[in-house]
Amino acid sequence: MRLLLDTNIVLDVLLERKEFLPNSKQAIIKAMDKGDKLFLSCSAVTDIYYVIRKNVGSKEIAYYSLKDLAIILNFADVNEKCILNAIESEISDFEDAVVDAVAINTDIDYIITRNIEHFKNATTKILTPEAYLQLC
């Protein structure tokens, strides 16, 4: 399977968000164990860097986190087609519309997110980490 991780899932793990860490981390581990291919939208990388740097107070730690991500994830390109599709999308939040457009462009099977309500009108199938774990 090809899975696109939403920004919140990655931040759950990197920032060890107690409430969400167990399921988000377990979903990533399960996907890796199964040989599923994990992706992250390139547009999410700058947000992840910013949030980590702001929360941890160190750009070096933020860079190391991104390097670690590059080892386990594939970065999915955001191109002109994705942006134009996101503009035309029925998803109300532009950032989430870009994620869906990237998923379509990258032939993703599922987007893994905690914010399924944000993807109500998505073209790509949406799973929470818990739903992905049940699917396995």
- Model pLDDT, residue 49: 97
Within 10 A of 64 (CB to CB), how many other CB atoms are there?
12
Alpha-carbon span 79 to 101, nearest angstrom: 10
> 125 is in which domain, residue-wise?
2-135
Distance between CA atoms of 18 and 99, rounded to whole angstroms? Answer: 25
Q: Are strands 37-41 and 125-127 parallel, antiparallel or unpaired?
A: unpaired
Beta-carbon count within 10 A of 76 CB: 23
In this prediction, residues 91-115 reach a mean pLDDT of: 97
Q: At what angle do helices 7-14 and 21-34 cross, to 10 degrees?
A: 110
d(CA 132, CA 86): 25
Share of the chain above pLDDT 70, in %: 100
Is the per-residue pLDDT at 94 higher than 90?
A: yes
Q: Is the pLDDT of residue 136 over 90?
A: no
Give the pLDDT confidence score for residue 68 in this predicted structure: 94
Neighbour order of strands in the sheet with 125-127 = 74-76, 37-41, 2-5, 110-112, 125-127
Question: How far apart, in whole angstroms, are the C-alpha atoms of residue 33 and residue 98?
Answer: 28
Percent of the chain scoring above 90 in pLDDT = 99
> Across-strand partners of 41?
76
Instruction: Decide if pLDDT at 23 tops 90.
Output: yes
Tens of pLDDT, residue by residue over 45-68, are 999 999 999 999 999 999 999 999
Is the pLDDT score of 33 beyond 90?
yes
- Is pLDDT above 90 for 2? yes
In this structure, what CATH number is given to the domain that contains residue 67? 3.40.50.1010
Number of domain units in the chain: 1
- Inform me whether the pLDDT recorded for 108 exceeds 90: yes
